[in-house]
Amino acid sequence: MTLATHERALWLARHVLPHEPALRAWLYRRPLAGLEIDDIVQETYAILAGLERVDHVHTPRTYMFEVAKSVILQALRRGRIVAFEALAEAEGLEPPSADPSPETIAADRQELGRLAALIAGLPAKCREAFTLRKVHGLSQREVARRMGVSENTVEKHVGKGIGVLMDAMGRGGNGRFKASRDREDRDQTKLGNDPRQRRHH
């Protein structure tokens, strides 16, 4: 696998990460025949990280959805999950083509406030290290000196912070909220409309 370069990570942060909640919400509403959304997302990033170039990607959002779809199809074809109907259903998946609404983008742009709130929620020592590193822009070495702890400890704190953000970001403000609401709706009132249920009738 090709490992992401720093430049590619910046591109992903800027053009892909903001759309991840929408991707997850979309995947969540689709029958995936047992595929885990987290796995699909990770493989999608792997492909985007491994692209030789990204300057031909004019609409990263759409591109990300298409890559995710290809991941699903490939997984089904590889026979990880053998289900002909699932394959047929996945073939018919249509990624949403519409551009996000102004409100969605505005919400994406509230990420700074969200970042602040997530940092605020970290355990005290971790929060201190993460703030010095990411808000004040000190190097990990300087953070260690400032806090009077080892660099390895600072690295662990930073890793913990990144882990918490990874967990929170994908689910994004609206995306996750909507996804969990959708789930409640479906579980409680729309069982009959769920294709996964219908298949067994």
Find the binding residues for other proteins in span 10-49 (CB under 8 A): 10, 12-13, 16-17, 28, 36-39, 41-49
d(CA 71, CA 94): 14
Does position 79 interact with other proteins (CB under 8 A)? The reply is no
Secondary structure of 114-175 as H, E, C letters: HHHHHHHCCCHHHHHHHHHHHHCCCCHHHHHHHHCCCHHHHHHHHHHHHHHHHHHHHHCHHH
Q: Which of 59, 110, 193, 197 binds other proteins (CB under 8 A)?
A: 110
Torsion of CA 12, 111, 152, 149, to 10 degrees: 160
Side-chain-facing half-sphere of 22: CA atoms under 13 Å = 22
Identity of the residue, 91 or 187, whose beta carbon is nearer to other proteins in the bound complex: 187
Q: What is the rounded distance in angstroms from the CA atom of residue 125 to the CA atom of residue 128?
A: 5
4 versus 93: smaller Cβ distance to other proteins: 4
Q: Could you count the other beta carbons within 10 Å of the beta carbon of residue 121?
A: 10
Residues 120-179 within binding reach of other proteins (CB under 8 A): 120-122, 124, 127, 130-131, 133-137, 139-141, 151-152, 155-156, 158-171, 173-174, 176-177, 179
- Restricted to residues 80-109, the positions that interact with other proteins (CB under 8 A) are 102-103, 105-107, 109
* Cβ proximity to other proteins, 139 vs 193, nearer residue: 139
> Collapsing DSSP states into helix, strand and coil, what is residue 78?
coil
Name the residue nearer to other proteins (CB basis): 92 or 102: 102
Q: How far is the CB of 200 from other proteins (least distance, A)?
A: 18
Q: How far is the CB of 129 from other proteins (least distance, A)?
A: 10
